[in-house]
Amino acid sequence: MNEAVDPSAVDLSVRMTAPSGPLTLTHPVLPASGTFGYGEEFEPFLPPGTFSAIVPKSISVEQRPGNPPPRAIETPAGLLNSIGLQNPGLDLFVSDYLPRLQRYGVPILVNVVGKSIEDYCQVVETLEGRDLVLGYELNVSCPNVKEGLRFGLDPDATGALISAVREKTGGVIMAKLTPNVTDIAEHAVAAQQAGADAVSMINTIRAMAVDWRKGKSRIGTETGGLSGPAIRPVALRMVWEAAQAVDIPVCAIGGISNAEHILEFVSVGASMVQVGTHLYREPTCLISILSELRELLAQEGYSSLESLRGSFGSAPDRLPESSRPVG
């Protein structure tokens, strides 16, 4: 183990590059879209600007009522949801919700969803150049709406969408990828080649919960999206595969609830993370997570988060005895 360093000196910053220039985040933790709303819900618990950037709930051109209730049910190790991308629509977002988000004083990566490429482009064109809107997370992977699956399951369709949006913005484009594919690396490569500056993964895993007595789903649709601790091992594997295939930052999502989880994802190549389902359980978790991140890195002699990134498999002498391969 390397010599320990002062935790207060550990650099947690994350850097991304877009055509408009570099973007530096003070630390790697963002809220996952859909679990954070538009910030107001978090104000009683902690300043929303404590996150290094904000990824608000998805925005589409038109207002969406979402899927029928019930929309969520707990599972033994997570949450099954079928919200259906309910949102106020672009006009109301610009007039009512965006000004509140701007007051938090940190970069905003607007999560965008649409039924067509033109829809995505219209949202981006409308928001382009507005204060603190420094980029977009393109939701091409929601398992609860048909268009999300259509874009997310076809790397060529993902690439065509990103290419079209790339022409509309010089800001960060982050493509949110689905785990419901055979080869996540193929989709990450397609996103990079089309002009994405980062990829985020994974979105929820398509799943079910049924009441066998009533013979129907326990949520308002037949299937929904599974999130939480149950999907973390799957997300870890997919982040590792994608990070080996692309040169752009990978933002990890999936069952993250503490600093150890973040460092696991960083070690396999992630540059940053999004915390989602855990925010329902512990909305104030970010303060302790950031403190623990610095402590853990300092104990192992890392002066920065970036110096750990991608270390998995490269330094077996640093692994504890129980983690070393046998034979």
Q: How far is it, in rounded angstroms, from Cα 151 to Cα 169?
A: 20
Say which amino acid occupies 132: L
Angle in degrees, 0-180, between the axes of helices 259-267 and 285-299, rounded to the nearest 10: 50
- Give me the catalytic one of 121, 142, 251, 285: 142
Active site residue 142: yes
Straight-line distance from the first to the last Cα atom of the chain, in angstroms, rounded to the nearest whole number: 23
Which residue's entry shows tokens 């051109």? Answer: 61
Q: How far is it, in rounded angstroms, from Cα 235 to Cα 59?
A: 25
Q: How far is it, in rounded angstroms, from Cα 215 to Cα 210?
A: 7
Q: How far is it, in rounded angstroms, from Cα 181 to Cα 228?
A: 19
Q: How far is it, in rounded angstroms, from Cα 136 to Cα 214?
A: 42
Whose CA is closest to 39, among 29, 51, 23?
Answer: 51
Q: How far is it, in rounded angstroms, from Cα 253 to Cα 31?
A: 10
Looking at the annotation, which residues are catalytic? 142
